[in-house]
A and B are shown apart, each in its own frame.
Chain A
Amino acid sequence: AQSVTQLDSQVPVFEEAPVELRCNYSSSVSVYLFWYVQYPNQGLQLLLKYLSGSTLVKGINGFEAEFNKSQTSFHLRKPSVHISDTAEYFCAVSQSYNTDKLIFGTGTRLQVFP
């Protein structure tokens, strides 16, 4: 079985500062990894995904994530955040042969201050 751990439930940061949201996973089989964003009062939206190939994945809104197999991590980064990035961010994992079954982390609330 797979599991996802998002260690930080909240991350406060000032506007234009860099941010990293941490995600670690555990699995005995090959996995795919995803980040979703949920803006206030909206549904979740797929931010980026790692399926194979380059371990550095670029997503929407200037976010990127790096897959590190040895550390079983998939941290999300942005070099300079905006107020509009304030949202809940969910890391998720699936088995590579069954992507319909996503396992979500508990989420990290990114709060950007002016």
Chain B
Amino acid sequence: DTEVTQTPKHLVMGMTNKKSLKCEQHMGHRAMYWYKQKAKKPPELMFVYSYEKLSINESVPSRFSPECPNSSLLNLHLHALQPEDSALYLCASSQKGGQGSVPSFFGQGTRLTVV
């Protein structure tokens, strides 16, 4: 199994809603990532978890809250989002965290629309 699975594939939410994005991998990878990709733009790093600990937060607003319950799962909790947060949210994983580690596999992403 060489997949990173993200759910849901599409999500429409209001600015007062609370929702969560989920990511799962069963490759035994120990680093997991959240990226945000706006239309016609490259992916931008949001968070990195290495060995289930948050190692990088790229100054992401607190309305985005990541969680890593275990080495296979990564969540992104959303609350009070703005329309400009609409984007494709990508999850990725790599075999190990830290030096020399880069995302090997990405999920298909969750297309988020904030209305």
Chain A residues within 8 Å of B, Cβ to Cβ: 4, 32, 34, 36, 38, 41-46, 49, 51, 90, 92, 94, 97-107
Closest residue of chain A to B50 (Cβ to Cβ) is: A100
Looking at chain A's contact residues, is the secondary structure mostly helix, strand, loop, or mixed?
A: strand
Please pick, from A102, A106, A107, the residue contacting B102 in the complex, using a CB distance under 8 A. A102
The residues of B that contact A102 with a CB separation of less than 8 Å are 43, 45, 102-103
The residues of A that contact B102 with a CB separation of less than 8 Å are 32, 34, 46, 49, 94, 99-100, 102
A45 near B48 with CB under 8 A, answer no
Closest residue of chain A to B102 (Cβ to Cβ) is: A99
Q: Looking at B45, B90, B101, which has the most chain A CB atoms within 10 Å of its CB?
A: B45
Looking at chain B's contact residues, is the secondary structure mostly helix, strand, loop, or mixed?
A: loop
B43-78: CB near A (< 8 Å → 1, else 0) gives 111001010000110100000000000000000000
What number of A-B contacts does a CB cutoff of 8 Å give?
Answer: 67
A100 near B31 with CB under 8 A, answer yes
Q: Which of B27-45 contact A (CB under 8 A)?
A: 31, 33, 40-45
Q: Looking at A4, A32, A38, A44, which has the most chain B CB atoms within 10 Å of its CB?
A: A44
Given contacts A100-B56, A101-B56, contact A44 B101 (CB under 8 A): no
A36 to B37, CA, bound (A): 15
